[in-house]
């Protein structure tokens, strides 16, 4: 597959998603294959992005004497750079390798994964909004400010919808716009 490069090779928009053509690719890691010419086995090093407990970082691992079946080069060393696309669900790898004195850069593998369905936010009924405002005395439950003080009051999910929260009255509270924005999708 021909590499979709626009502008100069080092332009910030040089790579487009091989699946949808979008230009929102995110680097996820690198794999380097190391082998002697024509060997079936060799070493590889993987550096990949991890996200655990809402924190991100990188993990590096090395394996020796493993099959070079996935190596992009038919005979020697090779390298893959892994990407995910923000526009579609594609996960792809860009292969960089040499063969017969030439350097090749091409899309090596493209996988489309179905995105997990995120919980859908159901609207809070106006009558329930009024009930929560009345219950919480028309006051922000974090800082105590009221609409009389000039605050814009909002109904907040104590356990966020994206983390399994629902619209039950015991999961709702009144927050001012500033406190609600500061809280985001966090537990209180």
pLDDT for the residue numbered 143: 93
pTM score, two decimals?
0.50
142-151 pLDDT tens trace: 999 999 999 9
Q: What integer best gives the mean pLDDT of the chain?
A: 79
Q: What is the DSSP letter of 44?
A: E
3 state SS of 54: coil
Per-10-residue mean pLDDT, the chain, length 188: 43 67 80 88 83 67 86 86 81 84 81 54 86 95 92 90 86 91 62
What are the extents of the domains in the chain? 25-112, 126-183
Alpha carbon of residue 31 to chain centroid: 19
Contact predicate 28/35, CB 8 Å? no
Do 84 and 91 form a contact (C-beta atoms < 8 A)?
A: yes
The DSSP secondary structure of 49-82, one letter per residue, reads: EEEETTEEEEEEEEEEEEE-TT-SSSSS-EEEEE
Q: What strand order describes the sheet that includes 78-85?
A: 55-67, 41-52, 25-34, 78-85, 90-99, 102-112
Compute and round to an integer the Cα radius of gyration of the chain.
25
pLDDT at 162: 75
Question: For residue 93, what are its two tokens?
Answer: 């790898």
Q: pLDDT, tens digit, for every residue of 30-68?
A: 888 898 888 889 998 888 777 655 556 777 888 888 888
Please report, for the chain, how many H helices and E strands are present, in that order: 2, 8
Q: Is the dihedral of CA 165, 166, 167, 171 positive or negative?
A: negative
């Amino acid at each position: 597959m021909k590499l979709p490069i626009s502008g100069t090779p080092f332009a910030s928009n040089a790579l487009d998603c091989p699946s949808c053509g979008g230009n929102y690719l995110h680097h996820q890691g690198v794999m380097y294959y190391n082998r002697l010419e024509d060997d079936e086995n060799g070493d590889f090093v993987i550096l990949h992005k991890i996200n655990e407990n809402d924190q991100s970082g990188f993990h590096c691992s090395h394996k020796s004497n493993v099959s070079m079946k996935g190596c992009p080069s038919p005979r020697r060393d090779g390298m893959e750079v892994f990407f995910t696309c923000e526009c579609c669900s594609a996960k792809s790898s860009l292969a960089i390798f040499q063969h017969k004195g030439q350097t090749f850069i091409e899309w090596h593998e493209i996988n489309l994964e179905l995105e997990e369905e995120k919980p859908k936010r159901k609207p809070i009924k106006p009558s329930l909004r009024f009930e929560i405002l009345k219950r919480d005395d028309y006051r922000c439950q974090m800082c105590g400010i009221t609409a009389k003080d000039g605050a814009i009051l909002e109904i907040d999910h104590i356990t966020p919808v994206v983390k399994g929260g629902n619209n039950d009255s015991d999961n709702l509270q009144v927050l001012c716009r500033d406190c609600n924005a500061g809280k985001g999708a966090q537990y209180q």
